[in-house]
Structure 1
Amino acid sequence: MNSFDFDVIERSLGYLFRDGMVFTLKLTILSTTMGLTLGTLLAMCRLSGIKPLASAAGAYVNFLRALPLILVIFWFYFLVPYIGGWLTGQGRPLNVGGFTSALITFTLFEAAYFCEIMRAGIQSIPRGQVAAGYALGLNYWQMMANVVLPQALRNMAPILLTQTIVLFQDTSLVYVLSLTDFLGAGINVAQRDNRLVEMYIFVAAVYFVMSYAASQLVKYLQRRNTMAA
């Protein structure tokens, strides 16, 4: 331990958190918000009575859940510029940027998992409430927005937060695209100062503390839901 130079951590805290952690949290929050929105729409499509819509949503979910995330990251990093160029008719790849590409990737990938969580939440609502909504003259989308989804979100809050913790950890995979997330910032400092052990220990400790704190919130929400039931 005498050869360890933990002072390198103190010297790099500004870079690690101002650049690295801000990037990680920004990507996590935006991907969670957009992924949950898309996942909820997919869940509603899967549960709708329109078979083509339900089949398409089911195929999307099953396809993405069967792929490794690292592969999807590479796919979208290289394909999104070409798809954007094709959609805009420019005939050349768009300059999308690493963050935008990563955000699209995590949004589309996590939506498949949020879809299944929300589908379970929607199905947990008593059918009598759904029937009552229809009896009041609400259509499918109004009934979902005003009756089912608020309760489903509350019931699934612990699982949604757990999936967000997984997403927070998975964002470290963007280092393969040379993006400066928290892990990437730690790697940059480690290679610059030749202090790999110290930086990897510190990065792991920060991920553990933040994930553990969030997991305690999950337990609190689970206890509150159990008491409310």
Structure 2
Amino acid sequence: MTGIWQDFVTHQGQLIDGLIVSLQLAGLTLLFGLPGGLILAIAGTSRTRLTRYVAIALTEIGRGTPALVMLQLVYNGIPVTLSGLLSAGIALALTTAAYTSEIMRGGLQAVPEGEIEAASALGMSRWDTLRDVVIPQGLRIALPSLMSFSVIMFQATSLAFTIAVPELMSQAKSIANSNFHYFNLFIIAAVMYAAITISASAFTDRVERRLSRHV
């Protein structure tokens, strides 16, 4: 235990920098992934058959492709040179969009039919009903699940070390390669990931309980 603490004290600056990059990558992933998921969810319930089929196909491809493979495809496969951080953000955002589209679609479909009929009776167009009635309520229903999935995607940022993004896992491995304290450094990384994950999960549970009071 003393050795683990000593390694943390010695390398805390580099490890904290890695954690910051992990958080930035998670933020970038959610910034683009969640709106993408909403677009796919709406398209997946479209009355236009082509739009619906395309959205479903993109969702299934995104869900069926492992995040690690998506990282390699974006970083090495596309004919454009992108930084590791941007490549990882795009790849994980695509994965996020595919998975959260199903969560959001479930939330949108859970909006009571009576709310939609009432909007129609008031003369609201389908788009106005979607924008002002269905989406706000659907996202509120889906919020706890979306927050839980966001925690999972923060953990998935550790995969970015495979394309040389200097996030927490990459920093821990780099330090371990120089001092051979692999066990110590990976334990430290695990504790740092857990600290963020447990805090976020506790916040998610709190939000879920607060929202349940109004159901």
Q: TM-score with structure 1 length normalisation?
A: 0.89
2:60 counterpart residue number: 62
What are the equivalent positions in structure 2 for 1:77-88 lying under 5 Å apart?
A: 77-80=75-78, 82=79
Structure 1 residue 15 displacement after superposition: 1.5
**Structure-2 separation of matches of 1:136 and 1:17:** 54
What are the equivalent positions in structure 2 for 1:1-229 lying under 5 Å apart?
A: 4=3, 6-18=5-17, 20-80=18-78, 82=79, 94-229=80-215
**Structure-2 separation of matches of 1:155 and 1:5:** 43
Counterpart residue identity of residue 13, structure 1: Q
Cα RMSD between the aligned structures?
A: 1.5
Counterpart residue identity of residue 162, structure 1: S
**Structure-2 separation of matches of 1:42 and 1:150:** 16
Deviates more, 1:125-134 or 1:101-110: 125-134
Deviations 1:27-57 (A, max 9, x none): 1112112111011011001111111000000
Counterpart residue identity of residue 10, structure 1: V
**Structure-1 separation of matches of 2:139 and 2:61:** 25
**Structure-2 separation of matches of 1:13 and 1:47:** 48
Partner of 1:228, secondary structure, is coil
Counterpart residue identity of residue 224, structure 1: R
Q: TM-score with structure 2 length normalisation?
A: 0.94
Deviations 1:157-189 (A, max 9, x none): 110011000000001001111211111111111
Deviating beyond 6 angstroms after TM superposition, the runs of 4 or more aligned structure 1 residues are: none
**Structure-2 separation of matches of 1:5 and 1:76:** 36
**Structure-1 separation of matches of 2:4 and 2:24:** 30
**Structure-1 separation of matches of 2:127 and 2:4:** 59
Name the % identity: 28
Q: Using a 3 Å threshold, how does the CA distance of structure 1 residues 140 and 17 change in structure 2: closer, same or farther?
A: farther
Counterpart residue identity of residue 60, structure 1: L
Structure 1 residue 134 displacement after superposition: 2.7
Structure 1 residue 59 displacement after superposition: 0.6
**Structure-2 separation of matches of 1:105 and 1:5:** 33
Deviates more, 1:137-146 or 1:167-176: 137-146
Q: How many residues align?
A: 215
User: Unpaired segments of 5 or more residues in structure 1?
Assistant: 83-93
Deviations 1:90-135 (A, max 9, x none): xxxx321111111111111110111001000001111111122233
Structure 1 residue 5 displacement after superposition: 5.2
Structure 1 residue 140 displacement after superposition: 2.8
Deviations 1:48-71 (A, max 9, x none): 111100000001111111122111
Deviates more, 1:129-138 or 1:36-45: 129-138
